[in-house]
Amino acid sequence: MPVKQDISLKPYNSFGMDVNARYFAAFDTADSLLEILSAFKQLPALVLGGGTNLLFTRDIDGLVLKNEISGIEKIGEDEEFVFIKTGAGENWHGFVEYCIAHGYAGVENLALIPGAAGASPMQNIGAYGTEVKDVLFELKAMHMHDRVISTFTNQACEFGYRDSIFKNKYKGQFVILDVTFRLRKQPQFNTTYGAIRQELERMGVQDLSLRAVADAVIHIRQSKLPDPAVTGNAGSFFKNPVISQEQFNSLQKQFPGIPAHTSNNAIKLAAGWLIEQCGWKGYRKGDAGCFNKQALVLVNYGSATGADIIALANEITGSVEKKFGIKLEKEVNII
C-alpha cells in the first residue's frame, strides 16, 4: 500500500483535530502491515482504527497506520455458542448489526458505539451493563518490533474497567489483526442498566428481541450524545469513578441524591452527574465545550485545539475533586 507524506489527520479522528502525520499508510492484511513496518522500522508508529477514542494535541513526527483489515465470518459453534471472527478494521456498529441480523446474542447493548472492532478489546468498551470482556474469546495481534503474530485469550488480555493489557503493559507494542467473539445462540437479555427498560416501554415493545434491545440503546445514545460527524467529540471523555462503600457512605451524607451503581463489591459513580453538579454541563469557551445533553462528553465546536480540550478537562477535574474529593480519570487516549 502506498505511503503518503505530510497528511492531515483531521478526517481520521472524531474530535476533528487538524494535525499532520509525517507519514501515513493504510493496511488491509497482516502481510501489507508487515511490509510497511519493515520499510519504516526506524520510525515510531501509531495505529489508528476509527480514531474515535483519542485526542491529538500535536503533529505526529513518525508513521501513522490506518487499520483496514475487513471481513466477518463464523469459524465455529457448539450447542450454546457461535464463534464469530471479525477483521480489526471493521466498523464496530456494523459488526453489531451483523450479529443482530444473524441472531447472535451478546453485543446488542453495545450498539452505536463508534470506532473499529479491533479497538474494542483495547479499551474494553462497555455500555448498559455489557463489556467486551463478557463476549471476547480471543484475538490475534502482531508485535510491531519483532513482527511475530500472537494469540491472546480473554484472560491474557487482562481486562479491567475500560482497560486492558494493550493500554498498559503492551501499550503501543501490538497491532490487533482480528478478534473472535463467543456469542450466544439463545439471548440472555440485559435490560436492567440505565434507561433501557424505560425506552423499551416507550417503544411499546411487548416481546424482547435483539433488534428491540439494540434499537432502544440506539435511541438513548442518539438522544443524549453528539454525532461526531456534526460535532467533534470522542464520546465519554472521563471514566465513571469506582469507589469504596465507605467513601460512598460519606459522600451520600453530604449529597443525598448522588446516583451510584454497585459492581463487584465496589460503587461506580456517574461522572457526568458529578461534572453537572459542578456547573459544567453546556459550558463553552471558544470552540471547546462540555456537551449540553451529557456532561461526560467534551466537544470541539469547530476550531478548538487539543490543548483547548485538555485545558477544559483539567478545569473540570479540578472542580470535581474540590467539591467531591474524587479525581476523575480520562477515558480518551491523549496523543
Instruction: Show me where the domains of the chain are located.
Output: 4-67, 72-184, 232-334
Residues known to be catalytic: 162, 236, 331
Is the model's pLDDT at 109 over the cut of 90?
A: yes
Is the model's pLDDT at 274 over the cut of 80?
A: yes
Q: What's the pTM?
A: 0.88
Out of 3.40.50.300, 1.10.1760.20, 3.40.50.970, 3.90.78.10, which CATH number does the structure's domain 232-334 have?
A: 3.90.78.10
Q: Do domains 72-184 and 232-334 have the same CATH topology?
A: no
Structure confidence at residue 293 as a pLDDT band (50, 70, 90): very high
pLDDT of residue 140: 98
Interval 149-170 mean pLDDT: 93
pLDDT of residue 222: 92
Interval 35-64 mean pLDDT: 90
pLDDT digits over 199-227, tens only?
Answer: 998 888 888 999 999 999 999 999 989 98
Is the model's pLDDT at 24 over the cut of 70?
A: yes
Q: What's the mean per-residue pLDDT of the chain?
A: 93
Decide which of 42 and 308 is more confident.
308
Look at domain 72-184 and name its CATH class. alpha beta
Instruction: Name which of 59-68, 247-256, 262-271, 308-317 the model is least confident about.
Output: 262-271
Structure confidence at residue 168 as a pLDDT band (50, 70, 90): confident
pLDDT of residue 229: 87
3-state helix/strand/coil string of the chain: CCCEEEEECHHHCCCCCCCEEEEEEEECCHHHHHHHHHHCCCCCEEEECCCCCEECCCCEEEEEEEECCCCEEEEEECCCEEEEEEECCCEHHHHHHHHHHCCCECCHHHCCCCCEHHHHHHHCCEECCEEHHHCEEEEEEEECCCCCEEEEECHHHCCECCECHHHCCCCCCEEEEEEEEEEECCCCCCCCCCCHHHHHHHHCCCCCCHHHHHHHHHHHHHHHCCCCCCCEEEEECECCCEECHHHHHHHHHHCCCCCEEEECCEEEECHHHHHHHCCCCCCEECCEEECCCCCCEEEECCCCCHHHHHHHHHHHHHHHHHHHCCCCCECCEEC
Is the model's pLDDT at 264 over the cut of 70?
A: no
pLDDT of residue 1: 63
Decide which of 131 and 193 is more confident.
131
Is the model's pLDDT at 275 over the cut of 70?
A: yes
pLDDT of residue 50: 86
pLDDT of residue 266: 80
Structure confidence at residue 246 as a pLDDT band (50, 70, 90): confident
Interval 33-51 mean pLDDT: 87
Is the model's pLDDT at 263 over the cut of 80?
A: no
pLDDT digits over 57-104, tens only?
Answer: 999 999 999 999 999 999 999 999 999 999 999 999 999 999 999 999
pLDDT of residue 72: 97
CATH code assigned to 4-67 = 3.30.43.10
